[in-house]
């Protein structure tokens, strides 16, 4: 069964609105979650590392004020795309590292965001 659940799987919004994406670790506690973005026919680009109880670490070029990450519990991390614009339209995927299996990442189903 699914190890990581991501919601919503797809969302359409108007420019200027904010969208929240949730990522839940179902089977184990996750102190670290990763957020990736994938444009059509491109690779997964790491956006940020979400750490439970502390501020997220953002990759170079990713605006922390635009992509708000909150990792409030050991099973939930949220990504909020603020003031979304059409260029933010993408496939956002969260992933969780299971400590007992060093290295392997479990991915959520992904959230396809379309900004009109």
Partner 1 sequence: GENVEQHPSTLSVQEGDSAVIKCTYSDSASNYFPWYKQELGKRPQLIIDIRSNVGEKKDQRIAVTLNKTAKHFSLHITETQPEDSAVYFCAASNPQAGTALIFGKGTTLSVSS
Tell me the window of 13-21, 62-70, 82-90, 103-111 that interacts with partner 1 (CB under 8 A).
103-111
Q: Return the sign of the alpha-carbon dihedral for residues 37, 106, 59, 54.
A: positive
Residue 100 is classified by DSSP as T
Q: Nearest distance from residue 114's CB to partner 1, in Å?
A: 13
Q: Does 12 bind partner 1 (CB under 8 A)?
A: no
Helix (DSSP H) and strand (DSSP E) numbers for the chain: 0, 11
* 90 binds partner 1 per the rule CB under 8 A: no
The distance of closest approach from Cβ of residue 85 to partner 1 in the complex, given in angstroms and rounded to an integer, is 23
Nearer to partner 1, 34 or 67 (CB): 34
Listed in sequence order, the residues at least 6 apart from 65 whose beta carbon sits closer than 8 Å to its beta carbon are 82
Query: Which of 116, 87, 88, 91 has the alpha carbon at shortest distance from 13?
Result: 116
Nearest-approach distance from CB 38 to partner 1, in angstroms? 9
Rule CB under 8 A: say whether 93 interacts with partner 1. yes
Q: Does residue number 54 form part of the binding site for partner 1 (CB under 8 A)?
A: no
């Amino acid at each position: 069964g699914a190890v990581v659940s991501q919601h919503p799987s797809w969302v359409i919004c108007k420019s200027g609105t904010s969208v929240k994406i949730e990522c839940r670790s179902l089977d184990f506690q996750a102190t670290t979650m990763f957020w990736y973005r994938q444009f059509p026919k491109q690779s997964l680009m790491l956006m940020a590392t979400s750490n439970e109880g502390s501020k997220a670490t953002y990759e170079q070029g990713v605006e922390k004020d635009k992509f708000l990450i909150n990792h409030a519990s050991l099973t939930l991390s949220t990504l909020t795309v603020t003031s979304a614009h059409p260029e933010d339209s993408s496939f956002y995927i969260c992933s969780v590292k299971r400590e007992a299996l060093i290295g392997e990442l479990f991915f959520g189903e992904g959230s396809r965001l379309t900004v009109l």
